[in-house]
A and B are shown apart, each in its own frame.
Chain A
Amino acid sequence: MGMMESTFTTPGTSAHLHPQEFLTFRLGAEEYGIDILKVQEIRGYDQVTRIANAPPFIKGVVNLRGVIVPIIDLRLKFNLGEAKYDAFTVVIVLNVLQRVVGVVVDSVSDVLELGPDEIRAAPEFSSLLDASYITGLGTIKPATEGGETRMLILVDIEKLMGSADMALVERAA
């Protein structure tokens, strides 16, 4: 990854002067990155107990070593094509909002370190996510000559999970 060459911070990022680590995952056609510190573990998808009358993207709850954890399928939430559940389905277990929550994504890639110079402000564009959840765009230089530069959409996953339409957190009725 690039070395830190400058110390100015770009708007749209949190004021980190040192590299931040992001877990990258794929959702639909795009790649996203979330703060690795919010990720508890990554596991497969199985034995989910359905919860009646929950929104369709909330698949239900699972037993994670004695703790009851809700599972949200982001593919369904954002209407991304077909959501298959098989041996390769991956669940990212997050630790956000003082809760443990699992999200289903298409696939998980590596953990990347991005310095401030590799993160740019996100322009206003309509995408899956409301711009307020996007903290920036990361650029990953290709590993090999002639490879493609990847673009990573950096997401404030805690804010996203706490939003009203995620129906995770009970609002005062």
Chain B
Amino acid sequence: MQVQSMFFKQRASEKLGDALLQGNMKKAKGKFVDGRAKAVAEFGVWEEVRTHAAKVRDRALANLDAYLVEFERNATRRGAVVHWAETAEEACAIIADIAARNGVRKVTKSKSMVSEEVNLNERLEAAGVQVVETDLGEYILQLAHEPPSHIVAPAVHKSKEQVADLFQKAHGKPRLTEIPAMTREAREALRGHFLTADMGISGSNFVIAETGTTLTVTNEGNADMVTTIPRIHVVITGIEKVIGTMEDFATLIRLLPRSAVGQTIANYLTLTTGLRMPGDADGPEQMHIVLVDAGRTKLLGGPMQEMLRCIRCGACMNHCPVYQNIGGHAYGWVYPGPMGSILTPVYVGLENAGDLPNAATFCHECSVACPVKIPLPELMRKLREEQFDRKLRPWPERMAIAAWAFAVKRPALYAFLSAMGARVASWMGGSEGLIHSLPGLDGWTKGRDMPAPQGRTFREMYRQRTRERR
């Protein structure tokens, strides 16, 4: 997917003014947040499992090379071919080459965010291969020629009316009005593709080192068609997805669907290991696993490594007040919301996505919701620090931060300046206590008044109270 993150501010304000999108986002918000809250409440040992899950992920990440080599050894033993791709381009070249060597004409795909990262569909289509997205949300977006706006519910920004229009055009049938009928029509449109594709491409939520296993998690059952019916199965996934054992998977899968949509379990979990066995009625004759780096190693070996625990549940964006109001497209790349505000700058360059680490209120809803305890706001703050150090923010902002840092390191000066500031701001607020315009900060006051402080700082009031009590 083309990086558009440098246009974040402009796109965010467009999205805020898009009445249709605002309506669609409001509908989604409650379902995700309430669904998760209910599932967590009845689970009983949420914190214990979260802690264990973070440990499971950290354990593999701490020895990532050894876990990957162990995975490779076991997958190879079972007949899969393991490929390594340093870049997006390399990943596409490997898969296009597999398709060409095997005379592949049609590919069915189940949802894979890594494939969105590397622009796989475009590359295969350019080579004359038909690519059919089979997750209902991804199918809708393929018809609309749009990228996903959410990592779990890719078409969350679309209304049923918009889907009805797309289906009418694509399927050449009378326009539908009800969601079940639309789902049925998509099922019928896709069934033929499932049965006739030469190659199936899936992602893999995790890969298991002990057994060389890849796996899919879906509610629709599309990944099972994609990984079972075609003669070639290609898995594309990130190098950070490796875990040790099936038991580790059992821990993580208690968290993933609950965090994503409040389900106790996803309808279909499929662990795929190697090729069809002699006499099997189904399963592929070739299996290829493409392990993609494309920026992941840049997160290793420092505080940012915690980001690689991410299990792609979407809870951070579902709970983010910024995401809830602007949707995923404003973020300008594959991963939106708080996790995207960290991954995008690291993968595509901080200079291309400078607004993303700043697109947060630091309310900490995301880190509370995160099932693997990623300290998302702290990581965003680290990126802000890097921006400051590399002079990537506009000079007035850097000057302001430098001036603030100068003052805050001198307690007496800071006390004096903040006392002055509180008095001036209080005077500006007048009798109603509201500031209508702030010189130099009119971006803030253009659409709303700023409540004025009452004239004294916290430290002044605290000192006075201590005196009175004595």
**A-B interaction:** no
Using a CB–CB cutoff of 8 Å, the interface residues on chain B facing chain A are none
Listed in ascending order, the chain A residues whose CB lies under 8 Å from chain B are none
